Protein backbone atom coordinates (compact mmCIF):
# COMPACT_ATOMS: atom_id res chain seq x y z
CA UNK A 1 0.00 0.00 0.00
CA UNK A 2 1.50 3.34 -1.04
CA UNK A 3 1.68 6.48 1.08
CA UNK A 4 -1.32 8.09 -0.61
CA UNK A 5 -3.58 5.16 0.24
CA UNK A 6 -2.38 5.09 3.84
CA UNK A 7 -3.16 8.81 4.17
CA UNK A 8 -6.60 8.23 2.62
CA UNK A 9 -7.41 5.45 5.09
CA UNK A 10 -6.24 7.46 8.11
CA UNK A 11 -8.17 10.51 6.88
CA UNK A 12 -11.34 8.43 6.54
CA UNK A 13 -11.03 6.93 10.02
CA UNK A 14 -10.44 10.35 11.61
CA UNK A 15 -12.60 12.67 9.49
CA UNK A 16 -15.56 10.49 8.44
CA UNK A 17 -17.54 10.89 11.70
CA UNK A 18 -17.09 14.68 11.56
CA UNK A 19 -18.14 14.84 7.90
CA UNK A 20 -21.04 12.48 8.57
CA UNK A 21 -22.17 14.56 11.55
CA UNK A 22 -22.01 17.77 9.50
CA UNK A 23 -24.01 16.16 6.71
CA UNK A 24 -26.67 15.20 9.23
CA UNK A 25 -26.61 18.74 10.58
CA UNK A 26 -27.22 20.10 7.08
CA UNK A 27 -29.93 17.46 6.67
CA UNK A 28 -31.77 18.74 9.74
CA UNK A 29 -31.34 22.38 8.69
CA UNK A 30 -32.55 21.85 5.13
CA UNK A 31 -35.44 19.65 6.33
CA UNK A 32 -36.48 22.37 8.77
CA UNK A 33 -36.42 25.02 6.04
CA UNK A 34 -38.55 22.80 3.82
CA UNK A 35 -41.06 22.64 6.68
CA UNK A 36 -40.80 26.40 7.33
CA UNK A 37 -38.96 25.95 10.61
CA UNK A 38 -35.66 27.39 11.83
CA UNK A 39 -34.30 24.02 12.81
CA UNK A 40 -31.57 23.03 15.28
CA UNK A 41 -27.97 24.31 15.18
CA UNK A 42 -25.73 22.82 12.50
CA UNK A 43 -23.66 21.04 15.17
CA UNK A 44 -26.69 19.57 16.97
CA UNK A 45 -25.88 15.96 15.93
CA UNK A 46 -22.54 16.24 17.75
CA UNK A 47 -24.24 17.70 20.83
CA UNK A 48 -26.68 14.78 20.81
CA UNK A 49 -23.93 12.15 20.62
CA UNK A 50 -21.89 13.84 23.37
CA UNK A 51 -25.00 13.97 25.58
CA UNK A 52 -25.71 10.29 24.94
CA UNK A 53 -22.11 9.39 25.77
CA UNK A 54 -22.33 11.20 29.12
CA UNK A 55 -25.61 9.58 30.19
CA UNK A 56 -25.78 6.86 32.82
CA UNK A 57 -25.05 3.47 31.28
CA UNK A 58 -28.00 1.10 31.65
CA UNK A 59 -27.19 -2.35 30.32
CA UNK A 60 -30.19 -3.87 28.54
CA UNK A 61 -28.06 -6.70 27.22
CA UNK A 62 -24.30 -7.16 27.19
CA UNK A 63 -24.65 -8.96 23.89
CA UNK A 64 -26.21 -5.82 22.42
CA UNK A 65 -23.18 -3.71 23.33
CA UNK A 66 -20.81 -6.27 21.80
CA UNK A 67 -22.87 -6.50 18.59
CA UNK A 68 -22.98 -2.71 18.23
CA UNK A 69 -19.22 -2.34 18.71
CA UNK A 70 -18.71 -5.07 16.10
CA UNK A 71 -21.13 -3.28 13.79
CA UNK A 72 -19.18 -0.03 14.16
CA UNK A 73 -15.83 -1.79 13.63
CA UNK A 74 -17.03 -3.49 10.44
CA UNK A 75 -18.45 -0.26 9.01
CA UNK A 76 -15.15 1.52 9.71
CA UNK A 77 -13.32 -1.40 8.07
CA UNK A 78 -15.61 -1.10 5.04
CA UNK A 79 -14.68 2.52 4.45
CA UNK A 80 -11.00 1.90 5.21
CA UNK A 81 -10.88 -0.86 2.60
CA UNK A 82 -12.60 1.39 0.07
CA UNK A 83 -10.17 4.27 0.55
CA UNK A 84 -7.28 1.80 0.48
CA UNK A 85 -8.33 1.02 -3.09
CA UNK A 86 -9.20 -2.63 -2.50
CA UNK A 87 -11.94 -4.83 -3.96
CA UNK A 88 -15.27 -2.95 -3.94
CA UNK A 89 -17.16 -6.24 -3.86
CA UNK A 90 -15.38 -7.16 -0.63
CA UNK A 91 -16.18 -3.70 0.78
CA UNK A 92 -19.90 -4.27 0.31
CA UNK A 93 -19.59 -7.80 1.70
CA UNK A 94 -18.07 -6.43 4.92
CA UNK A 95 -20.77 -3.74 5.07
CA UNK A 96 -23.49 -6.40 4.82
CA UNK A 97 -21.80 -8.41 7.57
CA UNK A 98 -21.89 -5.30 9.75
CA UNK A 99 -25.61 -4.91 9.06
CA UNK A 100 -26.10 -8.48 10.27
CA UNK A 101 -24.52 -7.56 13.61
CA UNK A 102 -26.89 -4.59 13.82
CA UNK A 103 -29.71 -7.11 13.51
CA UNK A 104 -28.18 -9.15 16.36
CA UNK A 105 -27.94 -5.99 18.49
CA UNK A 106 -31.65 -5.32 18.06
CA UNK A 107 -32.91 -8.85 18.79
CA UNK A 108 -30.57 -9.18 21.80
CA UNK A 109 -32.74 -6.71 23.70
CA UNK A 110 -35.74 -9.11 23.66
CA UNK A 111 -38.10 -6.20 23.00
CA UNK A 112 -41.07 -6.65 20.64
CA UNK A 113 -40.47 -3.21 19.09
CA UNK A 114 -36.76 -3.73 18.44
CA UNK A 115 -37.39 -7.30 17.23
CA UNK A 116 -39.92 -6.10 14.67
CA UNK A 117 -37.46 -3.40 13.62
CA UNK A 118 -34.71 -6.03 13.31
CA UNK A 119 -36.90 -8.23 11.11
CA UNK A 120 -37.63 -5.24 8.89
CA UNK A 121 -33.90 -4.56 8.72
CA UNK A 122 -33.41 -8.05 7.27
CA UNK A 123 -36.11 -7.34 4.69
CA UNK A 124 -34.38 -4.10 3.78
CA UNK A 125 -31.10 -5.96 3.31
CA UNK A 126 -32.84 -8.39 0.97
CA UNK A 127 -34.32 -5.41 -0.87
CA UNK A 128 -31.13 -3.42 -1.55
CA UNK A 129 -28.55 -6.21 -1.94
CA UNK A 130 -29.32 -6.87 -5.65
CA UNK A 131 -28.60 -3.21 -6.50
CA UNK A 132 -25.37 -3.33 -4.48
CA UNK A 133 -24.15 -6.48 -6.24
CA UNK A 134 -25.11 -5.12 -9.65
CA UNK A 135 -23.19 -1.90 -8.93
CA UNK A 136 -20.05 -3.98 -8.40
CA UNK A 137 -20.73 -5.97 -11.58
CA UNK A 138 -21.20 -2.73 -13.49
CA UNK A 139 -17.85 -1.36 -12.39
CA UNK A 140 -16.18 -4.63 -13.39
CA UNK A 141 -17.75 -4.63 -16.85
CA UNK A 142 -16.82 -0.99 -17.42
CA UNK A 143 -13.28 -1.14 -16.03
CA UNK A 144 -12.34 -4.82 -16.04
CA UNK A 145 -11.52 -4.70 -12.34
CA UNK A 146 -13.23 -4.70 -8.95
CA UNK A 147 -10.40 -2.67 -7.35
CA UNK A 148 -11.41 0.83 -6.29
CA UNK A 149 -7.92 2.14 -7.11
CA UNK A 150 -8.18 0.89 -10.71
CA UNK A 151 -11.64 2.37 -11.12
CA UNK A 152 -10.70 5.77 -9.68
CA UNK A 153 -7.53 6.11 -11.80
CA UNK A 154 -8.88 4.91 -15.15
CA UNK A 155 -9.35 7.15 -18.19
CA UNK A 156 -13.07 6.39 -18.40
CA UNK A 157 -15.93 8.39 -16.93
CA UNK A 158 -17.95 5.54 -15.49
CA UNK A 159 -21.23 7.44 -15.25
CA UNK A 160 -21.36 7.46 -19.07
CA UNK A 161 -21.20 3.65 -19.13
CA UNK A 162 -23.21 2.95 -15.97
CA UNK A 163 -26.18 5.38 -15.81
CA UNK A 164 -28.65 2.58 -15.05
CA UNK A 165 -26.46 1.14 -12.30
CA UNK A 166 -26.10 4.65 -10.85
CA UNK A 167 -29.88 5.20 -10.80
CA UNK A 168 -30.41 1.87 -9.02
CA UNK A 169 -27.70 2.63 -6.46
CA UNK A 170 -29.05 6.12 -5.72
CA UNK A 171 -32.53 4.62 -5.36
CA UNK A 172 -31.44 2.16 -2.67
CA UNK A 173 -29.59 4.90 -0.79
CA UNK A 174 -33.00 5.96 0.53
CA UNK A 175 -33.16 2.59 2.29
CA UNK A 176 -29.54 2.59 3.46
CA UNK A 177 -29.80 6.13 4.83
CA UNK A 178 -33.08 5.26 6.60
CA UNK A 179 -35.12 7.95 4.91
CA UNK A 180 -38.79 8.06 4.02
CA UNK A 181 -40.55 6.37 2.27
CA UNK A 182 -38.31 3.37 3.02
CA UNK A 183 -37.44 3.97 6.70
CA UNK A 184 -39.26 0.83 7.80
CA UNK A 185 -36.76 -0.55 10.34
CA UNK A 186 -35.98 2.74 12.08
CA UNK A 187 -35.90 6.45 11.34
CA UNK A 188 -33.91 9.52 12.28
CA UNK A 189 -37.05 11.63 12.75
CA UNK A 190 -37.52 13.05 16.22
CA UNK A 191 -41.22 12.18 16.47
CA UNK A 192 -40.23 8.52 16.63
CA UNK A 193 -37.88 8.97 19.58
CA UNK A 194 -39.92 6.83 22.02
CA UNK A 195 -40.73 3.91 19.75
CA UNK A 196 -38.00 3.82 17.14
CA UNK A 197 -37.75 0.41 15.54
CA UNK A 198 -34.55 -1.55 16.00
CA UNK A 199 -33.00 1.27 18.08
CA UNK A 200 -35.83 1.28 20.65
CA UNK A 201 -33.78 -0.41 23.38
CA UNK A 202 -30.49 1.31 22.52
CA UNK A 203 -29.71 3.91 25.14
CA UNK A 204 -26.83 6.14 26.21
CA UNK A 205 -23.53 4.95 24.72
CA UNK A 206 -25.09 2.15 22.69
CA UNK A 207 -27.20 4.66 20.76
CA UNK A 208 -24.17 6.94 20.38
CA UNK A 209 -22.18 4.04 18.88
CA UNK A 210 -25.02 3.35 16.46
CA UNK A 211 -25.12 7.00 15.40
CA UNK A 212 -21.37 7.20 14.83
CA UNK A 213 -21.51 4.01 12.76
CA UNK A 214 -24.26 5.61 10.64
CA UNK A 215 -22.02 8.60 10.00
CA UNK A 216 -19.18 6.37 8.87
CA UNK A 217 -21.51 4.40 6.61
CA UNK A 218 -23.05 7.51 5.01
CA UNK A 219 -19.61 8.86 4.14
CA UNK A 220 -18.70 5.52 2.56
CA UNK A 221 -21.94 5.46 0.54
CA UNK A 222 -21.37 9.01 -0.69
CA UNK A 223 -17.83 8.03 -1.67
CA UNK A 224 -19.28 5.25 -3.85
CA UNK A 225 -21.51 7.86 -5.51
CA UNK A 226 -18.43 9.94 -6.24
CA UNK A 227 -16.65 6.92 -7.72
CA UNK A 228 -19.02 7.04 -10.70
CA UNK A 229 -17.59 10.45 -11.61
CA UNK A 230 -13.94 10.27 -10.55
CA UNK A 231 -11.18 9.15 -12.90
CA UNK A 232 -7.56 10.00 -13.67
CA UNK A 233 -8.47 13.63 -14.47
CA UNK A 234 -7.91 15.73 -11.29
CA UNK A 235 -10.88 17.94 -12.18
CA UNK A 236 -13.16 14.91 -11.97
CA UNK A 237 -12.91 15.18 -8.17
CA UNK A 238 -14.92 18.40 -8.42
CA UNK A 239 -17.56 16.58 -10.46
CA UNK A 240 -17.61 13.82 -7.84
CA UNK A 241 -18.15 16.29 -4.99
CA UNK A 242 -20.94 18.07 -6.89
CA UNK A 243 -22.61 14.71 -7.58
CA UNK A 244 -22.37 13.74 -3.91
CA UNK A 245 -23.97 17.01 -2.76
CA UNK A 246 -26.70 16.74 -5.39
CA UNK A 247 -27.53 13.14 -4.42
CA UNK A 248 -27.54 13.99 -0.71
CA UNK A 249 -29.91 16.90 -1.33
CA UNK A 250 -32.12 14.62 -3.44
CA UNK A 251 -32.34 12.15 -0.55
CA UNK A 252 -33.35 14.96 1.81
CA UNK A 253 -35.99 16.14 -0.67
CA UNK A 254 -37.43 12.64 -1.06
CA UNK A 255 -37.43 12.20 2.73
CA UNK A 256 -39.49 15.36 3.22
CA UNK A 257 -41.96 14.85 0.40
CA UNK A 258 -42.99 11.23 0.82
CA UNK A 259 -44.79 9.12 3.38
CA UNK A 260 -43.58 5.75 4.65
CA UNK A 261 -44.74 2.74 2.67
CA UNK A 262 -45.18 -0.86 3.75
CA UNK A 263 -42.30 -3.25 3.30
CA UNK A 264 -44.11 -5.18 0.56
CA UNK A 265 -44.34 -2.08 -1.62
CA UNK A 266 -40.75 -1.12 -0.79
CA UNK A 267 -39.53 -4.53 -1.95
CA UNK A 268 -41.60 -4.46 -5.13
CA UNK A 269 -40.67 -0.92 -6.19
CA UNK A 270 -36.97 -1.31 -5.41
CA UNK A 271 -36.61 -4.59 -7.30
CA UNK A 272 -38.50 -3.17 -10.30
CA UNK A 273 -36.23 -0.11 -10.44
CA UNK A 274 -33.11 -2.22 -9.85
CA UNK A 275 -33.76 -4.85 -12.48
CA UNK A 276 -35.14 -2.41 -15.04
CA UNK A 277 -32.48 0.32 -14.84
CA UNK A 278 -29.45 -1.76 -13.88
CA UNK A 279 -30.64 -4.80 -15.85
CA UNK A 280 -31.01 -2.87 -19.12
CA UNK A 281 -27.65 -1.19 -18.53
CA UNK A 282 -26.11 -4.62 -17.91
CA UNK A 283 -27.45 -5.99 -21.20
CA UNK A 284 -26.12 -2.97 -23.11
CA UNK A 285 -22.66 -3.35 -21.56
CA UNK A 286 -22.57 -7.06 -22.37
CA UNK A 287 -23.57 -6.39 -25.98
CA UNK A 288 -20.82 -3.78 -26.26
CA UNK A 289 -18.23 -6.21 -24.88
CA UNK A 290 -19.39 -8.97 -27.23
CA UNK A 291 -19.35 -6.57 -30.16
> What is the gyration radius of the CA atoms in the chain, in angstroms?
19
Please choose, from the candidates 185, 228, 231, the residue with its C-alpha nearest in 3D space to the C-alpha of residue 210: 185
pLDDT band at 10 (very low <50, low <70, confident <90, very high): very high
Distance from chain centroid for Cα 153: 23
* pLDDT (tens digit per residue) in 19-45: 999 999 999 999 999 988 888 899 999
In our burial notation (b when 16+ CB lie closer than 10 A, e otherwise), range 177-200 reads: bbbbbbbbbbbbeeeeeeebbbbb
Say what the pLDDT of residue 290 is.
66
Please choose, from the candidates 105, 254, 264, 263, the residue with its C-alpha nearest in 3D space to the C-alpha of residue 179: 254
Question: Considering the chain, what is the average pLDDT of its residues?
Answer: 90
Contacts of 197 (CB under 8 A, 6+ apart): 113, 114, 116, 117, 120, 184, 185, 186, 187
* pLDDT (tens digit per residue) in 140-188: 999 989 999 999 999 999 999 999 999 999 999 999 998 989 888 887 6
- CA pair distance 204, 201, nearest whole angstrom: 10
pLDDT band at 190 (very low <50, low <70, confident <90, very high): low
What is the phi-psi region of residue 270: left when phi exceeds 0, alpha when psi lies from -120 to 50, beta otherwise?
Answer: alpha
Say what the pLDDT of residue 17 is.
96
Say what the pLDDT of residue 123 is.
92
Q: How far is CA 26 from CA 38, 66, 91, 163, in A?
A: 12, 31, 27, 27
Which pairs with CB-CB distance under 8 Å and at least 24 residues apart come from 142-147? Answer: 142/285, 146/87, 146/88, 146/89, 146/90, 147/85, 147/86, 147/87, 147/88
Amino acid sequence: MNTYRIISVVAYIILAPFIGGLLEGFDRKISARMQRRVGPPLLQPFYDVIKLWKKQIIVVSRAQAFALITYLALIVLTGAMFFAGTDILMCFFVMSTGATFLYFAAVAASSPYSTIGANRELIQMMTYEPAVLLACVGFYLAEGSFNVADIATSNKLDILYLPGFFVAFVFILTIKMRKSPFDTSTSHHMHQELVKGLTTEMGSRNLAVFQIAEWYENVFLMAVVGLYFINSNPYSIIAGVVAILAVYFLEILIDNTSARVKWELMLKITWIVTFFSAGVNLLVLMLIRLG
